[in-house]
Structure 1
Amino acid sequence: MKMLIIYTHPNHRSLSYSFLQEVINGSKENANIQEVQILDLYEEDFNPVLVFNEHKRRRDMYTEPGLAKYRDQLTWADKIVFVYPIWWGRPPAMLLGYIDQMFASGFAYKDTGGLLPEGLLQGKSVICISTMKGPTHYPLLWLYNAHKVLMRKALFNYVGIKKVKFFEFGNMESPSGKHKEKLNKIHRYFQSLNG
C-alpha cells in the first residue's frame, strides 16, 4: 500500500502535529504500508488561492504545470490520509484551497452529461483525522454532520472514492480531552491497517 499524508496545520507544536506523528509511527510498524509520502501544506507554502480568468480557464486547471507534482502524488497513492483541525465547522481554508485546485475536472472527475460525473480516482481510499475544540458530537448534533457530508459526498464520492473513514476528535483544548488515549488509538489503527 502506498500512502499519501496531507497535513494542514501551521503549528508543528499542535495536537494535529502529534496526530500526524502517530500516523507516521504506526505506518512504519505496518508491513502492509510499503511507502509513505507527506505533504505539509503550510511547510510547502502551498498557495490556496484559486485563480481563473479570461487568460487562465478553470477547465484547464488539470494541466496547470505548477500543480503537476501534487497530481503525481494523488495518482501515486492508494490511500490518502488527511490530518487537519476543524475550524468553524469545516477544514482550514488552506486545505480547501488545495481541494479546489487538485480535485479538478479532467483529473479527478470527468463530466459525462448525466446527473453525476465519472470519478477518475476510483480504487483509492481516504482517512480523515480531525480535531476540534468543541465536543465530539458537536458536528453531528449542531451542524447536521456538515463536515462529513462535505468531505464524503460533495468531494470524495464525487471523484470516485467510496471508501472514506473519519476520526473526529472533540474536546481537544480541554485538559480532560483524553489526548493520549486518542493518539494511541490512531497509532494502533495505522499499525494494523491492511487496506
Structure 2
Amino acid sequence: MNVLIIYTHPHHNSLNGAFLKEIMKGTEENPLVHEVKIIDLYKEEFDPVLVFNQEKKRRDMHKDPDIRVYQEKIKWADKIVFVYPIWWGRPPAMLLGFIDRMFAANFAYRQTGGLLPEGLLKGKSAVCVSTMQGPTNYPLFFLQNAHKMLMKRALLQYVGIKPVKFFEFGMMESPKGKHEVKLKRIYNYFRNISK
C-alpha cells in the first residue's frame, strides 16, 4: 500500500505536527505499507489560487504543468491521508485551494452526461485527521456535520475516493484535551491499517 499524506498546517511544532509524526511512525511500523510520501502545502509554498482566463482555459486545468508533480503523487497513492485543523467549521483555505486545482475534470472526474460524473480516482481510500479548538461534537450539533459532508460527499466521493474515514479531535487547546490518548489512537490506527 502506498500512502500519501497531505499536511496542511503552517507550523510543525503544533498538535497537527504531532499527529503527522504519529502517522509517520505508525505507517513505518506497518508491514503492509510499502512507501509513504508527504505533500506539505505550506512548506512547499503551494499556490492555492485557481486561475483560468483567456490563456489558461478551464477545460485544460488537468494539463497544468505546475501541478503535474502533485497529480503523479495522487495517482501513485492507494490511501490519501489529510491532516489539517478545522477553522471556521471547514478545512483551511490552503487545502481547499489545493483541491480546487487538483480535482480538475479529466484528471479527477469525467462528465458522462448523467446526473453524476465518473470518478477517475476510484480504488483509492482516504483518512481525514482534523483538530479543532471547540468540542468534538460541535460540527455535528451546530453545523449539521458540514465538514464531513464537504470532505466526504462533495469532494472525495465525487471523484471516486472511498471509503473515507474521519478522526475529528476537539478540545485540542485545552489541558483537558487528552492529547496523548488521541495521539496514541492515531499511531495505533496507522500501525494496523490494512487498506
TM-score (norm 1): 0.99
CA distance in 1, matches of 2:86, 2:96: 12
SS in structure 2 opposite 1:82?
strand
The residue number in structure 2 matching 1:35 is 35
Following superposition, the deviation at residue 162 of structure 1 comes to: 2.1
The residue number in structure 1 matching 2:172 is 172
The residue number in structure 2 matching 1:13 is 13
CA shift digits 1:155-181 (9 cap, x unpaired): 111101121000000000000000000
SS in structure 2 opposite 1:144?
coil
Following superposition, the deviation at residue 57 of structure 1 comes to: 1.2
SS in structure 1 opposite 2:27?
helix
The residue number in structure 1 matching 2:67 is 67
CA shift digits 1:41-61 (9 cap, x unpaired): 001110011111121111111
May I ask how many residue pairs the two structures share in their alignment?
195
CA distance in 2, matches of 1:59, 1:168: 35
The residue number in structure 1 matching 2:105 is 105
CA distance in 2, matches of 1:81, 1:58: 27
CA distance in 2, matches of 1:173, 1:57: 43
TM-score (norm 2): 0.99
CA distance in 1, matches of 2:144, 2:50: 28
Structure 1: tracts of 5 or more residues without a match: none
CA distance in 1, matches of 2:62, 2:136: 36
Amino acid at match of 2:185: K
SS in structure 1 opposite 2:90?
coil
CA distance in 1, matches of 2:5, 2:167: 15
Following superposition, the deviation at residue 12 of structure 1 comes to: 1.1
The answer on 1:183 being equivalent to 2:183 is yes
SS in structure 1 opposite 2:130?
strand
CA shift digits 1:42-101 (9 cap, x unpaired): 011100111111211111110001110000000000000000000000000100010000
Amino acid at match of 1:124: K
The answer on 1:55 being equivalent to 2:58 is no
